[in-house]
Amino acid sequence: MTAALTVLPLTGLPEIEPGDDLAGMVADAAEAAGVTDGDCLVVTSKVVSKAEGRLVAAVTDADKRAVVESESVRVLRRRGDLVIAETRHGHVCANAGVDLSNAPDGHAILLPEDPDRSARRIRDVLLGRGVRVAVVITDTFGRAWRMGVVDVALGVAGLRAVVDLRGTLDASGRELQVTEMAIGDEVAAAAELVMGKARGVPAAIVRGLDPSWLGDGSGRDLIRPPADDLFR
């Protein structure tokens, strides 16, 4: 069925350490899994941050709070230990994206400095090997109003993170009014469904995206400009 979407967990990646050539390792694993033109590789920011050495010492609670403060450009809400803050990139999330729980003892993991660049590195390695893929770097975010967390896109390469369907006709020939689909975030969520079931799998291949969605994009396209945002 050609219109189907397939999401494959990308197994075979070793535990990632600071300084690792993550792009090369992901490319190797993806090739072993049969990656092909038009596929979208999804990689969690956790392993990207580890490879890029985005670890800082944070032993005491005061250390941890200081790390979160230093990563925040704007705090939206505080309740007890919970801080909802805007990161330097513009994403709004818990602890400004600082991971205090999955890091090696005495450390915190920061978000990648430039998630689009991290995505491009992986895409470029595979382009160099003759395979044209899209890449999405994800993180797990909570949401206003809704329970539970979902994976979202922080950085993209070769994918239009938001696709404007304005002007597309619906089944009855009327112009669609709901217009801008957050494709990057939906791809991240779909990939999490296979990464979530097999813990320790930090990457997935999403196969079967509409070819018109492939092209230039940025994770920044998913950030609502504060001036337009009714909740910031």
Binding interface with its own copies (CB under 8 A): 1, 3-9, 15, 76-77, 79, 84, 91-92, 101-102, 140, 143-152, 161-163, 165, 168-172, 174, 176-178, 180-183, 185-187, 189-190, 192-194, 196-200, 208-210, 221-224, 229-232
Give min distance, CB of 207 to its own copies, in A. 9
* Closest CB to its own copies among residues 40, 125: 40
CB of 40 to its own copies, least distance (A): 10
Q: Which residues contact 178 (CB under 8 A, 6 or more apart)?
A: 165
Token pair in block for residue 32: 């072993």
What single letter denotes the amino acid at residue 223? Answer: I
Beta carbons of 113 and 45 less than 8 angstroms apart: no
Directed axis angle between helix 115-128 and helix 22-32, to 10°?
Answer: 50
* Closest separation in Å from C-beta 196 to its own copies: 6
Give me 29's structure tokens: 């694993």
Q: Which is nearer to its own copies, 16 or 125 (CB)?
A: 16
What is the DSSP-derived secondary structure letter of residue 88?
Answer: T
Q: Name residues whose C-beta falls within 8 Å of residue 2's C-beta, 6 or more positions apart in sequence.
A: none
Distance of closest approach, residue 177 Cβ to its own copies, in angstroms: 3
By beta-carbon proximity to its own copies, the closer residue of 34 and 128 is 34
The span from the CA of 179 to the CA of 200, in Å, is 36
**Comparison of 128 and 193: residue with beta carbon closer to its own copies:** 193
